[in-house]
Chain A
């Protein structure tokens, strides 16, 4: 039950992030939507491993309590670092673009670049 709820919420968040990337013209908000998209996929991965009355997979004693699936959590650890690296580098590039064009509007930057190409 928890797993189904987790998957549905994560797909809805994925959709919201996609809509944000498509419709908002500000580059920083596109970056945040990209972060939201990646985060929602991580949420989906982790919720796939959940179970009813599950506890964290840290073994404290010999009994076999209901541990949650540890593999998706290990995958999400890598995905978090990858997400961080992408957002950091994209932010640096956005800073460079803003320095040159003095605006964070993606349509305006595309327009200027098209003009420069035709010159």
Chain B
């Protein structure tokens, strides 16, 4: 039971040790990886027996103290953190980085673990602010002006979002008398007059949506993830964004959010794909793709059935793996050739090492949803979890759009020639690529077998293959003749105005859905 508290606090202790003992930073992060594996293994064993465990810190009771809960969600994301931690460690093994960087890394990992166990609204606020600050400092690590401006925009918009979230917490506290999620749920069933829930849930959702990567709110995302260094982008896109989605999962369990999450998910998916198709810079395209894949997760949470929730967890795990792999591989490719545009990368592909291109291939196959790789499992579960045809059409459309935007990378995969890649980087790609390829056996750990039997049938296979085939065939004509959308919305002032409009959108959705 103390594991829940130990996981984040040990990471924070390691963070401080990194600064004091400057020569042993790599040893410390190896030790942290080992301890994390052991603790997560023990947690897995404990959660196999009991469904979920909880601890109230200090033994004070839920209505005065802070409660921490570990369940299947925390386990899945804990393992994702483990994989990403291992591969980032290997990727950065030979680079010259100051101990300050590793301290920020440990703080980030500790904060991620804390969000997974949090059950208290104000606790979530403080942890998300720590995540904001640490990722803002990590993005600006290189001290280039582009990075500094991107991270400053991120800080402004994230603080604004968290201010809105805190207003929501104030409303909830005044009417429910507590900030513990479980106790709020009991209050909601007991109270007669629940008109305040509308305002409170729209404020809370708007605040978290700024950090969760939903398109209308997270307009800081493309600039921040594209200008950061490769390892930081992989961590942010693969892990930190998911923490916003985890908080939305926790909120959706008590507030009536399902209809609005469905609409928001479809909106962010479609808008993200539209922007991704028209972008030719590799890292920007990957960032827009992240925005659109979050749409899958929101649709899964919004649907709410057990299979759909398993699908969300499955797809979030898979997305973290292959987005991390794609960002790391894209970073190596850009470093090897010095060019950022996809067309120029294709022309200079003989400088990119074969292993990097293989990593890009595996990542692309994962994100397209080719069976039996990682993405396919998640999409199959999501498809099976929903009964309405509209949702299935939207999911198919998102798949189609993803294939179209990634099909432009196909010329890169002609395996001839190649440059040099250090062995540690190849190992780091391997750590992420193996679970993507071997994903199906891995999912049996957290998805019960009966859900697989209902969702995997021939029609899902055929639908997927048809969508992929059509996407590859129609990729060139669509990309050439697509309308260009406004890039003005990604500036600071317009982004703040769009966040406010998004608040009204969420409010109206919650009112009518």
Contacts and interface: CB of A to CB of B under 8 A. Distances in A.
A117 B173 CA distance: 46
Given A22-B497, A93-B151, A97-B145, A37 B173 contact: no
A34 B160 CA distance: 7
Given A21-B496, A45-B166, A94-B152, A113 B133 contact: no
A82 interface: yes
Given A21-B156, A82-B129, A100-B145, A44 B167 contact: yes
Interface stretch (B12-20, B136-144, B209-217, B430-438): B136-144
A109 B149 contact: yes
B500 interface: yes
A41 B167 contact: yes
A89 B136 CA distance: 9
B145 A30 contact: no
A86 B155 contact: yes
Given A75-B122, A113-B149, A38 B493 contact: no
A34 B155 CA distance: 10
Interface string A65-101: 0000001100100110010011001100110110011
Interface in A3-39: 14, 18, 21-23, 30, 34, 37-38
B173 A90 contact: no
A45 B170 contact: yes
B148 interface: yes
B466 interface: no
A37 B497 contact: no
Interface residues of B, number: 31
A72 B173 contact: yes
B122 A97 contact: no
Q: Interface size bucket, A side?
A: 35 or more
B492 interface: yes
A63 interface: no
Contacts of A41: 163, 166-167, 170
B137 A89 contact: yes
A93 B155 contact: yes
Interface string B173-186: 11000000000000
Contacts of B491: 110
B278 interface: no
B386 interface: no
A75 B146 CA distance: 35
Given A21-B496, A22-B496, A38-B163, A97 B156 contact: no
B156 A44 contact: no
Contacts of A82: 126, 129
A22 B493 contact: yes
Given A22-B493, A85-B133, A96 B148 contact: yes
6 contacts: A34-B159, A34-B160, A89-B133, A90-B152, A110-B491, A113-B146
A-B residue pairs, 4 tightest by C-beta = A41-B166, A93-B152, A100-B145, A48-B174
Given A45-B170, A78-B126, A100-B145, 10 more contacts: A14-B163, A14-B167, A21-B160, A41-B167, A48-B173, A82-B129, A85-B133, A86-B129, A113-B146, A116-B146
